[in-house]
Amino acid sequence: MGDKIVILEDIQKIYQIGKVSYQVLKGIDLEVEQGEFLVIMGTSGSGKTTLLNIIGLLDKPTSGRYFLEGEEVSKFDSKKLAYIRNRKLGFIFQAFHLVPWATALENVLLPLLYRPEGFSKDDEKRAISLLERLGLGERIHAKPKELSGGQQQRVAIARALITNPKLLLADEPTGNLDSASSKEVMNIFKELNAEGLTIIMVTHDPEIAKNGKRIKVIADGIFVDEKQV
C-alpha cells in the first residue's frame, strides 16, 4: 500500500432528488500509484466530475472507502479534510476559478493564507519563480481579466503547485482553451509528471487524453475500459 497514493474501494454515490434517488457512481474501485498520470474519460453525465470531487475531498461518497496516502480520509471531519486539501491536493478547473480582484501573484499565494505559519518572503519568491517558469514572469501583477484563457490556466496551475501537493486533480483543464493553449498546458502537465507529481485528469477529448500514461473510461457510473498509453 506504501506507493499507492489513492485507493478507492467500491465507491458509490447516490443523489436523492425528492423521492427519486439517482445512482451516479455504481461501485468504483481504483488504485493510483505514486507518480502516475491517470486520465479518466467518459461521455457527458457518466460521473467523471462526481468521481473527481470525491477524490478531491470536495464531496463525500454515499458508501465505500477512500484511502489517501494510507489514511482513510472517508472518515475525516470537515476541518481535517480542509487541512488535507490544503497540504496534499492541488486543483485545476475548467473555468480557471481565479479570484477576480486579486493579481496573478496574489492568486498564487492564496492557498498559503490558510496555513498557520502565514507568508514568508521566501513564499513570495517561490510564487514568482513558479509564474516565471510557467511563462508569466511579465504578468505577475496582472488581474485575471487582463490575461488570456491560457495564461489564466497557467496562473491556476501555479496556485495549485505553490503548496507542493502530492496529487494534482484537473477537471477538463483544457475545456475552455484553444488548441495552442491546450498544448501548452498539457506540456506543463507532462513536465510536472516527469518530475514525479501524481496527476489525475478528467477529459472527454481523446486527443488530450493521449497525454496521460493510463486511461480509464467510465460509463454510467462504472469503469468499463482501461488502457496504457
Partner 1 sequence: MMLKYKLLWGGLFYKKLRLVLSIIGIIIGVSSLLLMNAFGEAAKIRTLKEIETFGPEVLMVVAGNVRVSAGRAIQTEVTTTLKPEDAEALRKIGGIRFISPYFTGDAIVRFAGNTVSTVLNGVNEEYLRLRKFSLEEGRNFLKDEILSYKKVVILGNKVKAQLFGKENPVGQTILINKLPFKVIGVLSPIGIDASNADQDDQVLIPYTIAISAIYNVDYIRGIFISVEDPSNLPFIEKQIDSILSKRHKVTEKNKDFTIVKAEDILQAKTQTTNLFSSLVKSISVLCLVVGALGVTAIMTLAVNERKKEIGIRKAIGAKERDILLQFLIESVIVTLLGGIMGVVLGVGLTLILLPVFNYPLIFPVIPILTSTGLTIIFGIFAGVYPSYKASKVDPIVLLRSF
Ligand X SMILES: Nc1ncnc2c1ncn2[C@@H]1O[C@H](COP(=O)(O)OP(=O)(O)OP(=O)(O)O)[C@@H](O)[C@H]1O
Least gap, CB of 86 to partner 1 (angstroms): 2
Q: Report the DSSP pairing between strands 198-202 and 167-171.
A: parallel
Find all residues with CB under 8 Å of 215, minimum gap 6, and list them.
38, 39, 40, 41, 209, 226, 227, 228, 229
| Cβ 52 to ligand X shortest distance, Å | 8
Q: Which helix (H) or strand (E) holds 21?
A: strand 20-33
Give the interface with ligand X as residue ranges (CB under 6 A).
Answer: 15, 17, 22, 24, 42, 44-50, 204
When the beta carbons of 107 and 203 are compared against Mg ion, the nearer one is 203
State which residue, 12 or 86, has the beta carbon closest to partner 1.
Answer: 86
Which of the 8 DSSP states describes residue 176?
Answer: T
From partner 1, ligand X, Mg ion, none, interface partner of 15 (C-beta below 5 to 8 A by class) = ligand X
Q: Is 49 in the site for Mg ion (CB under 5 A)?
A: yes
The footprint of partner 1 (CB under 8 A) covers: 49, 52-53, 56, 58-59, 78-79, 82-83, 85-87, 91, 93-95, 97-102, 106, 109-111, 113-115, 118-119, 124, 159, 163, 171, 175-176
Please state, in angstroms and rounded to a whole number, the distance separating the CA atoms of residues 6 and 198: 10
Q: Is 9 exposed, middle or buried (0-12, 13-18, 19+ CB in 10 A)?
A: middle
102 binds, among Mg ion, partner 1, ligand X, none (CB under 5 to 8 A by kind): partner 1
